[in-house]
Structures are given as C-alpha cells and as structure tokens.
Amino acid sequence: MDTNLWILLVAMIALVAIVAVIVVNRSRAGKPASPSTARAPERGLRSQLSRTRSAIGSRLGDLLGSDTLDDEFWDELEEVLIAADVGVSTSTVVVNDVRKQHPADGDEARRMLEESLIAQMSGRDRSLHLEGDPAVILVVGVNGTGKTTSIAKIAGLLGESDQTAVLGAADTFRAAADEQLRAWADRVGVEVVSGEPGSDPAAVAYDAYRKAADSGADVVLVDTAGRLHSKTNLMDELTKVARVLRREAGEIGEVLLVLDGTTGQNGISQARSFTESVGVTGIVLTKLDGTARGGVAIAVEQELDVPVKYIGVGEGLHDLVPFEPRAFIEALLEP
C-alpha cells in the first residue's frame, strides 16, 4: 500500500475515534446521575433548623438590636425562649444569668445568651455506649416519632464506622413495621430478624441477639412497638423485652428514646414514663426541621437529666446527626 495512502487511512481512523469520544462525553453530560448514586447537597444545620430559627430570630433580632436593656427587654427575652419550648424554668435561669453579667448592649447580650444556653447542656456524655459482644441498643418510643427510621439511620452511621449491625423487628403489632424496617435495612445493608405478626416481642429480641452473636456482628439494635406511655400493660411488656436482653447480654449499652420534636413539652412526660420503665440513657429528637419548637432539646435535658444524643433534621439517610450543643445553639441564635 502506498505510504501516503496508509498515513491518510490512519488519520481517518484517529479522527473517527476522536469524534466518537466527544459524542459519548456529551451524551453522558446531558444525563442526570443515577438515583442510586446521586446525592443531594447536604444542607447546613442553620437551614435545617430554619423554622425554630425563624420563630426565635424574628423576635430576637428586633429585641437584641436595642441598646436599652430594661425590665421590659429581659421579660421579652424570656418570652422568646419559652415560645421556642426551651422551658419556663430553664428560660428563667438563663435570662437571669445573662442579666447578672450586665451586658453593654444587645450584641453582647446575644453572645452571653449563647454561652449560657450552651453551658446548660455541657458536661453530658453524648457518646454511643457499645459495650458487649455484641453491644445492645434498645430503641423505644410512641407511634409516629420516627423510631423505626431512626434505628436504620443509626445502623447506617455504625456502618460508616466499620461496625456491623443486626436489626431486631420486635414491633410485632404494627402490620407495616417489619416491612418499613426491612426497606430501610436494605438501604443501609444490614440484616433484619423478625417474627410472626402478633408474636412475643421478647422472643424476637432474643432471636435478634442470638443472630448477632452467632454472626459476629458488633451491635444489635432492637425496634419495639410504639408504646403508649399511659398503657401499663404495654409498658410492662417493654420491660420484659429489656429484661430478656439484659439476661442474654449481661447489660444493655443504650436505651434510646425517640421523641418527636414537634410535640414540644408534651414529649417530656413520655420520657419520664419510659425512663421509669426501662431506664432511658439517651434521647433521639426527630423532626426538628419541621418545628418551631426546637428549644425542647434544651428543656428535655434539664427536666430529665438525660442527654440528647442524636437529632433528626430531615428525611434523608444522613439527616440523623450526633447532637452538638454549640453547633445547635449557634444555628438557632446567630444572625
């Protein structure tokens, strides 16, 4: 073959290859990412707590813009905190603390208010206790709080820390509970142990523990029926689940109570009942993105001396986050 013809043929092949690459790249660029891999940009905590932030901020901004810190100023500041469900007693303590420091103006009062609120929540152990082999986490709460989804999200967080988990579907009374837990478990890649509808929840908890132990899992998380805290027989049954788990494991690392943040102060009476029955060790406060009552995180700790360990700020898999008081208070109060 003539040399010039050979060079022309090679050039044509190269040109076709280049055009093909350009077409493919343009085609890919025009397609949306696969839903299984695409991940929406994470919102900041300030945005996620926007409802409480707006409820506090609109009044707080005008109030702290004043340089006249008279009796009316301090009374209104206390009212703003109470309206956000910080709690009457805590609001009074915090306002008195700031007032005694004699801030020069509204800006200084804001900074002192932040530090005082943070101080109310300092010194608490917010780590997840995972003693035992496997460690046991019992999750309790009334219906509709987001308990089942929170369990799966915690399992997801454990997985990101290279800890394997087994979920126990001990809510055998709600027809969709097992399906809901399994759907979430598939998303985070963990196994679920369940029983027949209406079966003994304590037996399911036992089976889940044995499965976790036999498979070498690090943690077993046990979902329970949405107990009505006013129903003694149901609370007794929950106590039985805890007793079985303690008998098998020797101890329960965590008893997490899931509270719906939109219920505000009403959640505190629930927490008291569960603490008396099973010894709650930590709070998971959900739906804070949908309420103006986010201050209940402060109130529940002060009333019960039980730490908030996680907060739910959205429906996504990564919208359950470890609770950090400073980040939380700053997200609510800073302009």
Amino acid 51: pLDDT: 80
User: Could you read off the pLDDT tens digit of each residue along the chain, which spans 335 residues?
Assistant: 555 554 555 455 555 454 444 433 443 333 222 222 233 334 588 788 888 877 777 678 778 887 789 999 999 999 989 888 888 999 999 999 999 999 999 889 999 999 999 999 999 999 999 989 999 999 998 888 889 899 999 999 999 999 999 999 998 887 677 788 888 888 889 999 988 888 899 999 999 999 999 999 999 999 998 766 557 777 888 899 999 999 999 999 999 999 998 887 777 877 888 888 888 999 999 998 887 778 888 988 888 889 999 999 888 888 899 999 999 998 888 76
Same domain for 53 and 157: no
Domain end, chosen from 120, 153, 172, is at: 120
Q: Where among 86, 120, 154 does a domain terminate?
A: 120
Number of domains in the chain: 2
- Among 120, 150, 165, the domain-final residue is 120
Q: Is 255 within a domain?
A: yes
Residues contacting 46, CB < 8 A, separation 6+: 53, 331, 334
- Residue 185 falls within a domain, yes or no? yes
Q: Is there a single domain that holds both residue 147 and residue 196?
A: yes
Which pLDDT score, from 0 to 100, does residue 43 have? Answer: 52
Domain identity same for 72 and 109: yes
Same domain? 303 vs 173: yes
Is the residue at 235 inside a domain? yes
Whether 20 is in a domain gets the answer no
In a shared domain, residues 92 and 202:
no
Residue 234 domain-assigned (yes or no): yes
Q: What is the pLDDT of residue 161?
A: 92
Q: What is the pLDDT of residue 22?
A: 44
| CATH code: domain of residue 195 | 3.40.50.300
Q: Which two tokens stand for residue 300?
A: 């529940």
Residues 103, 236, single domain; the answer is: no
Residue 25 placed within a domain: no
Q: What is the Cα–Cα distance from 74 to 40, expressed in whole angstroms? A: 42
Residues 162 and 202 in one domain: yes
Residues 88 and 172 reside in one and the same domain: no
Kindly state whether residues 145 and 288 are assigned to the same domain.
yes
Range of the domain at 87: 45-120
pLDDT at 168: 94
pTM: 0.82
- pLDDT at position 198, please? 82
Pair 116, 139 in one domain: no
Q: Domain of 59: which CATH number?
A: 1.20.120.140
Whole-number average pLDDT of the chain: 83
Whether residues 53 and 197 fall in one domain: no
Structural domain includes residue 22 = no
My answer on whether 182 and 308 are in the same domain is yes
Q: Is residue 265 part of a domain?
A: yes
